[in-house]
Amino acid sequence: MRPVVISDPYPRSLELIFTKKKYQQLIKKFKIIHAPEKNKKKFYEKNISLASYIIGQPDLDKRILTKAIKLKAIFNVESNFMDNMDYEYCFQKGIHVLSTSPVFSKPVAELALGMTLSLIRDIHSSHQKFICGKETYGLEGNKNSFLLSNKKIGMIGFGDLAQSLTPLLVPFTKDINIYDPWIPNKIITDKGFKAYSLGEIFTKCDVIYVLAAITKNNQSLIDKTLLNKLKKNSSLILMSRAAVMNFKDFQARFKKGDVFAALDVFPKEPVPKNDPIRKLKNVLFSAHRAGALNDTFTEMGDIVFEDMLIISKNLPPRLCKKAERETVSLLRSKPIAIN
């Protein structure tokens, strides 16, 4: 008998994350039960006892989880651990709670590098000026530009995203400095980098990447106190979560025009048409699109399927990110609505 999988991946869909070939492999190995859009609580009360796996991130309190007598793993394909299930019960019962977030690290890292180069060499602005017939040639067109080579890099956060970005940066510079209170300094130094304080990141670095997950301890972490420490002509690239930044303080600081930024995430999405942030000429904008590639989503299906196979052999998952007892309760990710 095929193990039962409850499919409840909204806002994802199985069609989004599985290729046709992979989906056929999935249904050959597993029986899929689709959760309804409405009356989910009643559905889970009736069906969770049948399930070996859940693909999705439903609300699961302890009362419902006690019925999950066969459940081996929950795959959060939104890729953010949220405060919507009883993690402690899952840990006690050996139910793996997994996130597909690793699939986003490479595409986000690549766009981060692309935005960095555009920002420090003014690629996007010079392109727009050329279209408008207002281009400036040679040195005149490079007044605020500088080389990435041999510059001092700062990173806030040293998780999957940072560890995908550092190999892309090393050919330009090995002067990479990390702030991450969840990572032992030895891990950072063993990779050839330096552990910095948060203050040192802002006062000493030429290019700063914000790559940290949002937790109950770092909401609005980057405020006017830190932003006012930025070096003249330095660049700040925000690629992880908007809530790490105090955007009111950000706008006030960047109105001065002596520092530069690239943003892929925002406090409210879609960003209102009349939001004053749109007027900042020294900011490069991307509409939260860094990780949203077809290849990324189908890789998500691949790692879910492969981990389901390995868990079915009573072995630990190897590809998806595991929720950790010590940190999952600290995370404060918001649900997403757009793929």
Tokens, residue 52? 């070996």
Q: Degrees (nearest 5) of the Cα angle 68, 70, 72?
A: 95
For residue 281, what pLDDT is reported?
96
Domain that holds residue 303: 4-100+294-330
Q: CATH number of the domain that 24 lies in?
A: 3.40.50.720
pLDDT at 215 over 90: yes
**Is residue 76 domain-shared with residue 57, that is, in the same domain?**
yes
Distance CA 193, CA 197 (A): 13
pLDDT at 262 over 90: yes
**Is residue 165 domain-shared with residue 271, that is, in the same domain?**
yes
User: pLDDT-based confidence at 200, cuts 50/70/90?
Assistant: very high
For residue 336, what pLDDT is reported?
84
Kindly report the pTM of this predicted structure: 0.95
**Mean pLDDT, all residues of the chain:** 97
Residue 68 in any domain: the answer is yes
Residue 188 in any domain: the answer is yes
pLDDT at 332 over 90: no
In this structure, of 13-17, 179-183, 233-237, 327-331, the range with the lowest mean pLDDT score is 327-331
- In the chain, the number of structural domains is 2
**Is residue 150 domain-shared with residue 203, that is, in the same domain?**
yes
**Is residue 135 domain-shared with residue 280, that is, in the same domain?**
yes
More confident residue, 178 or 335: 178
Residue 10 in any domain: the answer is yes
For residue 335, what pLDDT is reported?
83
For residue 333, what pLDDT is reported?
83
pLDDT at 44 over 90: yes
User: pLDDT-based confidence at 74, cuts 50/70/90?
Assistant: very high
Buried b / exposed e over 228-265, threshold 16 CB at 10 Å, is: ebbeeebbbbbbbbbbbbbbebbeebbeeeebbbbbbb
Residue 339 in any domain: the answer is no
**Average pLDDT for residues 285-290, to the nearest whole number?**
98
pLDDT at 334 over 90: no
For residue 195, what pLDDT is reported?
99
Tens-place pLDDT, residues 81-125: 999 999 999 999 999 999 999 999 999 999 999 999 999 999 999
Q: Degrees (nearest 5) of the Cα angle 158, 266, 172?
A: 40
For residue 301, what pLDDT is reported?
99
**Is residue 135 domain-shared with residue 175, that is, in the same domain?**
yes
CB 147 within 8 A of CB 175: no
- Could you tell me what percent of the chain has a pLDDT over 90? 96
Residue 252 in any domain: the answer is yes
CB 11 within 8 A of CB 300: no
**Is residue 90 domain-shared with residue 117, that is, in the same domain?**
no
**Is residue 214 domain-shared with residue 324, that is, in the same domain?**
no
**Is residue 125 domain-shared with residue 232, that is, in the same domain?**
yes
User: pLDDT-based confidence at 190, cuts 50/70/90?
Assistant: very high
Distance CA 21, CA 159 (A): 32
Residue 229 in any domain: the answer is yes
**Is residue 197 domain-shared with residue 249, that is, in the same domain?**
yes
pLDDT at 252 over 90: yes
For residue 230, what pLDDT is reported?
98
For residue 237, what pLDDT is reported?
99
